[in-house]
Structure 1
Amino acid sequence: MSIELTVEQAYDSAKGRTVAHLDRGTMGDIGVADGDTVALVGDDRAVVTARPARDGDATGVVHVDGFARQNAGVAPGETVTVEPVAADDAAELTLRPVAAQCCPIGADHAGRVHNDLLETPTRAGSRVWVMVGPQQPFGVVLGSWRPLEVVATDPEGPVVVTRSTDVTVESAIDDVEAGSTAADVESWESLREAVFERDGRACRNCGVDFDTGSVSLEAHFVVPPVHGGTVGVDNLVTLCRQCHATAHESVTTPSV
């Protein structure tokens, strides 16, 4: 059974968690329980985990975050069809970054991505989001949500990521055609080195450089490719780790 509901913003505590909060009456009407997988069908299709809405909340609405709304192709205030779906445990999940990133997600991040996506329902062709950015002391990450495309799942169809899922993250930066000023750059490592050389191996924000001591320098996209920025030296700046973290918090982003 399915039902049409009005889309509302997610609860703050549910952002990035791939869940849909429904009133208990609606959950009973369509035959789903807390923790079941449901599909949100708008212009596209998303799969999320059903959770009960807060007592006293309005009926006839579904609370979902912006990530789920993007997958479903709907906006707040629009209607979406909600229906129960069967989701198998994922044996394998293959992901690829949607665009080149200044903190590239690659094969060596598969374990961290796996942990971030535990209990997440998804399907091939959808996007999932993980928090990635410069890592600070004690494992704290100050960064931003990064989209990954679900390239393939085994089995096919809606799946849920479990601890036994074999997660593979493919690279999206190698062999990406670069921007107009760096057309010959074919890999992230060589692109980053070109940016460091141009900037004198010093942070463009605070000025710290390799000669002042133990400093980790990183390359930062001024306009992320996922938002239309080019993959080239003209869209990258050298930042130290601390300034890079600040840039990802949208406090300051220096220009080239």
Structure 2
Amino acid sequence: MPITPSQLSRWKQQHRPIVSLTAWDYAIARLLDQAGVDLILVGDSLAMVALGHRNTLPVDLDVMIHHAAAVCRGVEQALVVCDLPFLSYQISIPEAIAAAGRVLKETPVQAVKLEGGSPAMVETIHRLTTLGIPVLGHVGLTPQSVHQLGYRQQGQTADEAERILQEAIAIAEAGAFGIVLEHIPAPLARKITEKLPIPTIGIGAGPDCDGQVLVTADLLGLSAKTPPFAQVYLNMGEQIIAAVQSFGEDVRQGHFP
């Protein structure tokens, strides 16, 4: 049976760590699902790792739906969550409902992810979840706010840490089934994880979250630049270059075909 948001909540209570990675196409998604990943995020990070943009801002809803549909074709078990892209949900609640509704109507995705924990965003999350749309929250470093926040670690001061904590609590109270904690100090992530009844998924947030997520391109060594909190488990980039060079040499020397 496919994994559901409620199953993630049960795993938090059982102290069963949640494994999450990103995907942007059928091929990657199929392999992640076969490897037993619990949650596959169709992240707007695909703007950089798949489409070559400098940040996540250029992708629109049509692009995210296109990639989400491809990812879902490769998945049988994992919970698939799709990022709502920049300005598809921040302008008004009706536009957020329409954007999330399109994702769920046009793809088999089970949930959407929204960045931020401002009062307006909390109200948006509340309205979406009231309508039966599962929402994954996201606080700390929020990449769609790159021009305001940059890519520095968030929550380093006492005031910042308290703001992020209160945002996380409000998001949980609004009905989100989980929350991503990105690039915040480990003690803050641990405090949030202990206080929230919903699962926390960390990325650069230390070891005490209920689960961990990485951008798959970072894990596989395919990113042009790897974040300081990521870990390369396989340098596929170098392997691909070597394989292509071998193929090229065989062609030039008449050894292939």
TM-score range, shorter chain: under 0.3
How does the TM-score come out when normalised to structure 1? 0.22
Larger of the two Rg values belongs to structure: 1
